[in-house]
Amino acid sequence: MLSDSTSPEPPSLPLAVRLFNAHEYFACHDVLEELWGETLGEDRDFLQGLLHAAVSLFHLSEGNPAGAHKMHASTLRYLSSYPDRYQGVDLAQLRRDLTACFAAARAGVPTNLSAYPVLSWSSADE
């Protein structure tokens, strides 16, 4: 498992978190994709995992459950080697909340955006 990064947070991460939490998943995807393209090293998979989380929720909100479930599984794979908190993001909570959200969707429980996961993030966690 990777250790918590000691590098400073990526400058676009706070914006991506705000967009994710505002359910602006497409815009969040764009920010994370740009950041991912500029990143080398162990942070790439972390950013890819967050990006896939945003895409999974975008697909779910747009009524594409097959695409949503595929991206949810990919999210969990990308984030599996990271600790519970990384770059200030509470990944343990994100994993739990995504899993609960997608379990409800699989069971046919209707959800609205207010029930979707949010990213718990703090720059003080660095």
pLDDT at 94: 97
For residue 55, is it within any domain?
yes
For residue 3, is it within any domain?
no
- Pure H helices in 1-126: 13-21, 25-37, 43-61, 65-79, 91-106
pLDDT at 61: 93
pLDDT at 113: 84
CA 25 to CA 61: how far, in whole Å?
A: 9
pLDDT at 12: 87
The boundaries of the domain holding residue 50 are: 13-109
Q: What is the CATH number of the domain that holds 30?
A: 1.10.3450.10
SS3 call for 79: helix
For residue 122, is it within any domain?
no
Q: Burial of 15 by CB count in 10 Å (0-12 exposed, 13-18 middle, 19+ buried)?
A: middle
Q: Burial of 14 by CB count in 10 Å (0-12 exposed, 13-18 middle, 19+ buried)?
A: middle
**DSSP annotation of 121:** B
Q: Which residues contact 109 (CB under 8 A, 6 or more apart)?
A: none
CA 20 to CA 5: how far, in whole Å?
A: 22
Each residue's pLDDT tens digit in the chain (126 positions)? 554 554 544 558 999 999 999 999 999 999 999 999 999 998 999 999 999 999 999 999 999 999 999 999 999 999 999 999 999 999 999 999 999 999 998 888 877 888 899 999 987 654
Task: State pTM to two decimals.
Answer: 0.87
For residue 114, is it within any domain?
no
For residue 5, is it within any domain?
no
**DSSP annotation of 9:** P
Count how many domains the chain has.
Answer: 1
For residue 2, is it within any domain?
no
For residue 124, is it within any domain?
no
